[in-house]
Amino acid sequence: MQVIIVGAGIGGLTAALRLHQEGIDCVVYEQSEQSGELGVGINALPHAVKELAELGLLDSLDEIGVRTRDLYYAHRLGPVILRKPCGLDAGFTLPQFCLHRGRLQGMLLRAVRERLGADAVRTGHRLTGFDQDASEVRAHFDRRGAAPVTVRGDVLVAADGIHSAARSILFPAEGAPRWNGVLMWRGATDWPEFDGGRSMIVAGGTAAKLVIYPIAEGRSAGTKLTNWAVCIRTGQPGAAPPERQDWARPGDRRELARHVERFCSPAVDHAGLVEATEEIFEFPMCDRDPLPAWSRGRVTLLGDAAHPMYPMGSNGAGQAILDATALGGHLARCSDPTEALLAYQDDRLAATSEVVLRNREGGPENVIDEVERRAPQGFSHIDEVIDAAELEAVVAGYARASGSSQQQVNEPGR
């Protein structure tokens, strides 16, 4: 079997490694001329780490990331709502990591080239279309400065992101991504470590949120490369996004400065952290409605091409990694590619659709929205605002829906 993968992001590269492990040949085609290490912070929860560990990448994750010890949900004005241990500290059999998205992608790219060969990832190929029949699928690519090329295979896997060319071909009437009105500014810089250097802070709800966490060792003792995000609702949910979602779009410092002081973070000088960051990026927080199907004949979708979601609950990349595992397993077990792709779809579509819809409501961070609704000016004791069982129900329910609960991760064979 020969699989064509479109997109050298986290999902596409993980799919290539999983297919290789299953003994299935594949080549990855990437639109960009070079696979640069773009983006800022990302979280890999234990359910995603489990799949990467099965690919022999746990040591590599330790080399580029930070094992997360705990997560704090806090009111925008500072009081802590919930402290949740993470990874090994929470009793999982695998750690949780905070990482630089680009470094994770770079690590996966190196692994693909080492295991599959230097030519396994071919850059400068922009998908323009595909056609298929009972015997094969043919993917058509434009190449900058070179003649277009057609590649033949048994399966086409489109892992080409929220602006997926393949998805637009399968669903031409879908239109632009759906914006929730939130504009996100992000950056990372070396900063003195806080609370032992392994904690993550999420302060504020959907309309105004501050997120801070370390993603790598710093260049000097006592520092960490520290990721931050400021998310502010600046438009109406459902409106057209003000700009195309792009990880590398430079941010407007003057606009960001208007919002930084809306937060109080006792553990970190967040204003100083933002000011010290040389490169700031911004993009609108977008998703798409869940699809009725991903697979059509020998073609299927994976990751953000299949289920782009708001960045709540640290699940975007994680769900793409789970997709890759499911896809590889079904293709290995089923001799008919079309049947394998339908089985993959049946395995993953409903589960990821639920995560997309839950993230629209804030995901597990919905507990912050609820606390701020009840206590907009903060509080002295959280149990005076919300019951601990109610808090736990929101967080635990989301974990089960996303496949990231302790039981799901630790149970053998899952």
* 3-class secondary structure, 210: strand
The residue type of 56 is: G
Residue 279: predicted pLDDT: 92
**What six digits make up the tokens of 375?**
């206590």
User: Does residue 35 carry a pLDDT above 80?
Assistant: no
- The mean pLDDT value for 32-47 works out to 82
Residue (of 229, 218, 230) closest to 191 by Cα position: 218
Residue (of 394, 69, 105) closest to 247 by Cα position: 105
Contact 299, 158 (CB under 8 A): yes
pLDDT per position as a tens digit, 8-32: 999 999 999 999 999 999 999 999 9
The span from the CA of 307 to the CA of 353, in Å, is: 7
* 3-class secondary structure, 104: helix
Residue 29: predicted pLDDT: 97
Phi and psi (nearest 5°) for 386? -150, 145
The span from the CA of 268 to the CA of 75, in Å, is: 14
Reported confidence tier of residue 244, pLDDT bands at 50, 70, 90: low
Residue 381: predicted pLDDT: 94
Reported confidence tier of residue 247, pLDDT bands at 50, 70, 90: low
**What six digits make up the tokens of 311?**
């960045």
- Higher local confidence (pLDDT), 106 or 37: 106
The beta strand positions in 272-346, using DSSP E, are 281-287, 299-301
Same topology between domain 2-36+102-176+292-361 and domain 178-287:
no
Residue 305: predicted pLDDT: 98
Residue (of 326, 283, 284) closest to 301 by Cα position: 326
Q: What is the DSSP secondary structure assignment for residue 77, as one 8-state letter? A: T
Domain extents for the chain? 2-36+102-176+292-361, 178-287
Q: From residue 45, how far is each of 22, 116, 173, 186, 342 by CA, in Å?
A: 24, 26, 34, 20, 27
The span from the CA of 349 to the CA of 355, in Å, is: 10
Helix or strand run (H / E) with residue 137: strand 137-143
Reported confidence tier of residue 411, pLDDT bands at 50, 70, 90: confident
Q: From residue 282, how far is each of 234, 279, 285 by CA, in Å?
A: 13, 10, 9
The span from the CA of 308 to the CA of 276, in Å, is: 31
Residue 216: predicted pLDDT: 96
Q: What's the half-sphere exposure (Cβ side, CA atoms, 13 Å) at 109? A: 19
CATH topology of domain 178-287: D-Amino Acid Oxidase; Chain A, domain 2 (3.30.9)
Residue 394: predicted pLDDT: 87
* 3-class secondary structure, 233: strand
Residue 126: predicted pLDDT: 97
Going edge to edge, which strands form the sheet with 299-301? 121-122, 25-29, 2-6, 155-158, 299-301
**What six digits make up the tokens of 93?**
């059999």
Residue 136: predicted pLDDT: 98
The span from the CA of 180 to the CA of 411, in Å, is: 36
- The mean pLDDT value for 160-189 works out to 94
**What six digits make up the tokens of 106?**
């770079």
The residue type of 323 is: D
pTM (whole model) above 0.85: yes
Q: Which CATH number fits domain 2-36+102-176+292-361: 3.50.50.60, 1.10.10.10, 3.40.50.720, 1.10.3210.50?
A: 3.50.50.60
pLDDT per position as a tens digit, 68-80: 999 999 999 999 9
pLDDT per position as a tens digit, 276-326: 999 999 989 999 999 999 999 999 999 999 999 998 888 889 999 999 999
pLDDT per position as a tens digit, 323-353: 999 999 999 999 999 999 999 999 999 999 9
Angle between helices 337-360 and 388-402 (to 10 degrees): 160
